[in-house]
Amino acid sequence: MSEYDEAIKLTGPDDTGRYTGRLSDDWAIGEAVNGGLIMALAATATASHSHASGGHTDPLTYSGVFLSPGSAGEITAHPQVLRTGRSMTTAQVRTTQQVDGVEVERTRALMTMGDLSRYAEPVLKAEPAPQMPPPEDCPGTEDAPPTPLTSSGFIQRFDIRLDPATLGWALGKPSGKGEMRGWIRLADQRDFDPVSLLLALDSFPPVAFDLGSTGWVPTVEFTGYVRANPAPGWLRMRLSTSTVSGGLLEEDAQIWDSTGRLVAHSRQLASARFPERSDADSVR
């Protein structure tokens, strides 16, 4: 079983419709288990619940908030179907952990699910994948100076190769453009599927790093969209932002599969700290 399948393994539902999984520090970044992994776990529980009630199972949209950081140990997912239509099912899903005997909510999200094979054709408009050097010519985590961040469990679960053209920030020279491109696959080369694309959307370093931010970049809200079943192999990913004001920025992620098809995209509002700049340094 792949590392990812092990990480989202669930038991349930119990007689109240809840599913139980286990978070591990193998997926932690800094002090917290990565929110993208919790999204994938919650989406898996929701798909199972929807399937059991005759609904749809492919994630189309996931809009969520992170209420408190997840930690290693048992986690419970509480999916609830709100509406089942002919072509889509709408649901809510909460995740909780017990802390000192008290149930603490980690995430809450609204999801719509459908059948992605229905939306494959015709393609009336498409965004081409960005051009970049092949993975073997793009630096990976092992090429970065070791820091507490790069030794996090989460970082080890992926093989991420960043386009050298957008890597200045890692050398102390952020471009100020607010853009990052690169390749991604799981370290054990398990191929991505619609649910794990949600995890992939939140797996790159924050685009705020390309604007000079160096610290923690907490997510205010995250909405991910899965647009197609991904083909096997490397994914190409691009992060960008266009409005950065008062420490708030939107981070847009786009993912293309190995055939060049855009298969997922997301937007998150995030809060970042930026070093003080003189007007002359403005990158507006």
Question: Which structure tokens are listed for 161?
Answer: 């190769």
Cβ-Cβ contacts under 8 Å for 85 (sequence gap 6 or more): none
Residue with tokens 């520090």: 25
Best CA proximity match to 252, nearest among 192, 186, 208, 199 = 208
Q: How far is the CB of 201 from a copy of itself (least distance, A)?
A: 14
- The bridge status of strand 32-33 relative to strand 28-29 is antiparallel
Q: Does 99 bind a copy of itself (CB under 8 A)?
A: no
| Contact set for a copy of itself, span 166-205 (CB under 8 A) | 176, 178
Cα(183)–Cα(256) distance, integer angstroms: 10
Best CA proximity match to 111, nearest among 32, 168, 49, 68 = 49
Q: Does 211 bind a copy of itself (CB under 8 A)?
A: yes
Q: Does 131 bind a copy of itself (CB under 8 A)?
A: no
DSSP-derived 3-state class of residue 66: strand
For a copy of itself, the binding residue among 22, 65, 188, 229 (CB under 8 A) is 65
Q: Does 68 bind a copy of itself (CB under 8 A)?
A: yes
For a copy of itself, the binding residue among 110, 144, 170, 231 (CB under 8 A) is 110
Residues 29 and 155 sit within 8 Å (Cβ to Cβ): yes
Q: Does 67 bind a copy of itself (CB under 8 A)?
A: yes
Which of the ranges 2-10, 26-34, 124-132, 146-154 carries the binding residues for a copy of itself, by CB under 8 A?
Answer: 124-132
249: how many CB neighbours lie within 10 A of its CB?
25
Question: Which structure tokens are listed for 118?
Answer: 């229905």
Question: Which structure tokens are listed for 32?
Answer: 């917290």
Q: How far is the CB of 120 from a copy of itself (least distance, A)?
A: 6
Q: Does 82 bind a copy of itself (CB under 8 A)?
A: yes
Q: How far is the CB of 276 from a copy of itself (least distance, A)?
A: 9
Which of the ranges 38-46, 71-79, 165-173, 216-224 carries the binding residues for a copy of itself, by CB under 8 A?
Answer: 216-224
Which of the ranges 16-24, 136-144, 154-162, 271-279 carries the binding residues for a copy of itself, by CB under 8 A?
Answer: 271-279
Q: How far is CA 108 from CA 22, 45, 64, 79, 272, in A?
A: 18, 13, 6, 10, 22
For a copy of itself, the binding residue among 24, 71, 92, 214 (CB under 8 A) is 92
For a copy of itself, the binding residue among 46, 57, 76, 90 (CB under 8 A) is 90
Encode burial over 186-212: b for 16+ CB neighbours within 10 A, e otherwise: beeeebbebbbbbbbbbbbbbbbbbbb
Q: Does 253 bind a copy of itself (CB under 8 A)?
A: no
| Contact set for a copy of itself, span 17-56 (CB under 8 A) | none
Binding footprint of a copy of itself on the chain (CB under 8 A): 60-61, 63-65, 67-68, 82-83, 87-88, 90, 92, 105, 108-110, 112, 118-127, 176, 178, 211, 220-221, 223, 225, 227-228, 241-250, 262, 265, 267, 269, 271, 274, 277, 282-284
